[in-house]
Copies of this chain bind each other. A is one copy, B any other.
Amino acid sequence: MTQRSVALLLGTALLWAAVAAWPAAVGASPAPGSNAPASAAETEASGAAGHGQETSDSWSMVFVLLLSTFIGIGVIARVSRLLHTPLMSITNAISAIAVVGSIIVTGTDFPVHIRIIGAIALFASMTNIVSGFLITDRMLKMFKQTRGEAKS
């Protein structure tokens, strides 16, 4: 990775971060609402993600996004060129982490139509996880270093 593309990527990350955090930045009654016990209780009642015990503020998430992007750039740029095809399929499987959201929407005691939507999402993510990891492993198994290894 050249300096230029790193800069480009940082720019993208910051831009995205800025978009994500603008309500917080302009002070338009953002996450504090979600931190208030009243709404926390509601969240608990509706059984949503956080289970109301602790919610983090938007800025924490923006920091996590920035740092993760840095890690992503650092790690991906050093992936061997040999493995770019398996890389595409493993990141594909990893992006199916949306499964977490799908499970919550499917499994919580929400109205049936919501849960149906959730179940479709869960099915879709699970397909990606299963096929993504399996095909990556299938491809990686083929990479042999020596002829002997390749023969055996």
| Chain A residues engaging chain B, CB cutoff 8 angstroms | 24, 27, 30-32, 35-37, 53-61, 63-64, 67-68, 70-71, 74-75
Q: Which residue of B lies closest to A53 (CB)?
A: B32
Please, how many angstroms separate the alpha-carbon atoms of A55 and B63 in the complex? 14
Q: Quick check: A32 and B54 within 8 Å, CB to CB?
A: yes
Q: Which residue of B lies closest to A67 (CB)?
A: B67
Q: Quick check: A24 and B67 within 8 Å, CB to CB?
A: no
Q: Quick check: B54 and A58 within 8 Å, CB to CB?
A: yes
Q: Quick check: A67 and B71 within 8 Å, CB to CB?
A: yes
Q: Which residue of B lies closest to A57 (CB)?
A: B54
Please, how many angstroms separate the alpha-carbon atoms of A37 and B61 in the complex? 21
Q: Which residue of B lies closest to A54 (CB)?
A: B57
Question: Within 8 Å CB of A63, what residues of B?
Answer: 60, 64
Q: Quick check: A56 and B53 within 8 Å, CB to CB?
A: no
The winner among A27, A35, A36, A71 for most chain B CB atoms within 10 A is A35
